[in-house]
Chain A
Amino acid sequence: EIVMTQSAATLSVSPGERATLSCRASQSVGNNLAWYQQKPGQAPRLLIYAASSRATGIPTRFSGSGSGTEFTLTINNLQSEDFAFYYCQQYNGWPLTFGGGARVENK
């Protein structure tokens, strides 16, 4: 099983600043990595797939990078609606696995 690790459980960021979230895979997943956003009481929403491709309707302030075992989700010019939980997920092999999640909170 590929273990996904999101190193920072909570990031405290002020509106207008940049948030950088990290995700590490226990073995290479190529670029088969997705990022999801989840707000309290809501279903997850796909933000990024193939490590760096934005899903339909996702603002350009969200960007993804990385390959192999190290990945980053960057949120530029953080907006109030971006305070949420974020999960990475690998889909390079079965079982599909998610990172433990990272919360972006208002500093």
Chain B
Amino acid sequence: QAQVVESGGGVVQPGKSLRLSCAASAISFSVDPMHWVRQAPGKGLEWVASISYDVSDTHYADSVKGRFTISRDNSNKTLYLEMNSLRLEDTAIYYCAEATLAGPILDVWGKGTTVTVSS
């Protein structure tokens, strides 16, 4: 059973940076696209960023473009989200999701890590 576990969340001031990590267990990690999805308190799901299995392709939500960077280390089965210039509205639970099926279908989710941006 594939699993992913997020870490790196915390409380940070506006304008500061934070790096999230997501450790995966699936043998197929190196061929699976990976995604970050967030959920602000009491709100719905918002897709944040995606990366192809070979790092050749990345996509970002407009709300984070230019501030967040998604990356991965296939040898260590780890996904990252580098978050810079954090804003109050970035406060959310950040979920890592692995797409083991064909297409951006988010079929393996972690429990999430909480990011709070507060002065």
Closest CB of chain A to B92's CB: distance in Å? 13
* B61:A89 contact, CB within 8 angstroms: no
Is the contact region of chain A dominated by helix, strand, or loop, or is it mixed? Answer: loop
Is the contact region of chain B dominated by helix, strand, or loop, or is it mixed? Answer: loop
Q: A46-B107, A91-B104 are in contact. List 11 more A-B contacts (CB 8 A).
A: A32-B103, A34-B106, A43-B109, A43-B111, A49-B103, A49-B107, A91-B105, A95-B60, A95-B62, A98-B45, A99-B44
* Size band of the interface chain A makes with B: 20 to 34
* B101:A87 contact, CB within 8 angstroms: no
* A101:B104 contact, CB within 8 angstroms: no
Interface residues of A (CB under 8 A from B): 32, 34, 36, 38, 42-46, 49-50, 55-56, 87, 89, 91, 94-101
For B95, give its contact among A43, A91, A96 (CB under 8 Å): A43
* A44:B62 contact, CB within 8 angstroms: no
Closest CB of chain A to B36's CB: distance in Å? 11
A86 and B111 alpha carbons, distance in the complex (Å): 17
